[in-house]
């Protein structure tokens, strides 16, 4: 496989109340084209800031972000906007327009991109069928379950035919059964369309279920990366060790409950 995302020595500092706060400190990361790659870390590790630097919503202090061979940081504002149309974003809180129907929510990125109405209709209907929302196109978000809302969010992210999707805590607000359904949907989209997916989360099971490779983000640094299995079985960072410990506890609970039934 070829490298799709390549991040080199990425730094980002914010200045709350005039005081420097280093959020990203020398991030190095490579993601292969067509894979689902996981980044795991606790709250405050810098996960969302990293996502915003990748899609051009935040400008880092230094470093480079190459996406599909294009240096994002060298682009003009207009070029970044065009590039962003090829990056799908899925959010924890869905980010839907409550006043718009499901159809209009999915169509929104196509409308602002100036796509003809006939093409918009074709793409929305095809995408709604893929994510299982054909019968909900006239409904509004307020009438949907959490899982259905996230399906709308996923549909909106892929309707532009992106090359890359960033899933930023996409299942954190969902119950376990719905989480599995959403992860299965993302895996199906990855398999059918070959879209590269970056899954950013603090949820252990989401990484275990969806990814073969992962990285651990700790206090603005990638402290280790490699296969999911290797990191869980032989962690080399504080965060990795904590997640591995939780993993073992969960296994023991499963075995205990399984033995008692």
Per-10-residue mean pLDDT of the chain, 261 residues long, equals 92 95 96 96 90 91 93 87 86 90 96 93 96 96 94 94 92 89 94 94 88 94 93 84 73 56 37
> Cα(61)–Cα(15) distance, rounded to whole angstroms?
12
Give the pLDDT confidence score for residue 31 in this predicted structure: 96
Give the pLDDT confidence score for residue 181 in this predicted structure: 93
> Does the residue 142 lie in any domain?
no
Backbone angles phi, psi at 260, to 5 degrees: -90, -5
Q: Whole-prediction pTM value?
A: 0.89
Backbone angles phi, psi at 245, to 5 degrees: -65, -45
Q: How many domains does the chain have?
A: 1
Q: What is the DSSP letter of 16?
A: G
Give the pLDDT confidence score for residue 261 in this predicted structure: 37
> Does the residue 38 lie in any domain?
yes
Backbone angles phi, psi at 44, to 5 degrees: 90, 0
> Does the residue 232 lie in any domain?
yes
> Does the residue 189 lie in any domain?
yes
> Does the residue 213 lie in any domain?
yes
> Does the residue 15 lie in any domain?
yes
Give the pLDDT confidence score for residue 242 in this predicted structure: 82
CATH of the domain at 205: 3.40.50.300
Q: Where do we find the tokens 């974003």?
A: 89
Q: Could you tell me the residue range of the domain that residue 26 belongs to?
A: 3-86+162-260
> Does the residue 153 lie in any domain?
no
Q: Work out whether the CA dihedral 187, 189, 194, 197 comes out positive or negative.
A: negative
> Cα(83)–Cα(185) distance, rounded to whole angstroms?
25
> Does the residue 202 lie in any domain?
yes
Give the pLDDT confidence score for residue 44 in this predicted structure: 87
């Amino acid at each position: 496989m070829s490298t799709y995302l390549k991040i080199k020595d990425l730094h980002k500092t914010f200045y709350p109340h005039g005081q420097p706060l280093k959020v990203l400190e020398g991030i190095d990361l490579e993601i292969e084209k067509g894979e689902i790659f996981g980044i795991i870390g606790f709250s405050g590790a810098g996960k969302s800031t990293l996502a915003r630097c990748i899609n051009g919503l935040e400008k880092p202090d230094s470093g480079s972000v190459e996406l599909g061979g294009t240096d994002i940081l060298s682009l003009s504002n207009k070029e970044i906007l065009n590039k962003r149309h090829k990056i799908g974003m899925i959010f924890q809180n869905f980010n839907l327009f409550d006043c718009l129907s499901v159809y209009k929510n999915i169509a929104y990125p196509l409308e602002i991109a100036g796509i003809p109405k006939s093409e918009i209709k074709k793409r929305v209907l095809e995408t709604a069928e893929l994510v299982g929302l054909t019968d909900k196109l006239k409904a509004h978000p307020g009438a949907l379950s959490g899982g259905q809302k996230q399906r709308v969010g996923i549909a909106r992210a892929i309707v532009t035919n992106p090359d890359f999707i960033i899933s930023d805590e996409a299942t954190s607000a969902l119950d376990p059964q719905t989480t599995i359904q959403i992860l299965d949907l993302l895996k199906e989209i990855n398999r059918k369309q070959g879209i590269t997916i970056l899954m950013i989360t603090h949820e252990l099971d989401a990484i275990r279920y969806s990814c073969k490779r992962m990285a651990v983000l700790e206090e603005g640094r990638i402290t280790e990366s490699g296969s999911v299995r290797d990191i869980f079985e032989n962690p080399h960072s504080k965060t990795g060790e904590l997640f591995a410990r939780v993993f073992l506890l969960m296994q023991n609970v499963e075995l205990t409950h399984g033995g008692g039934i």
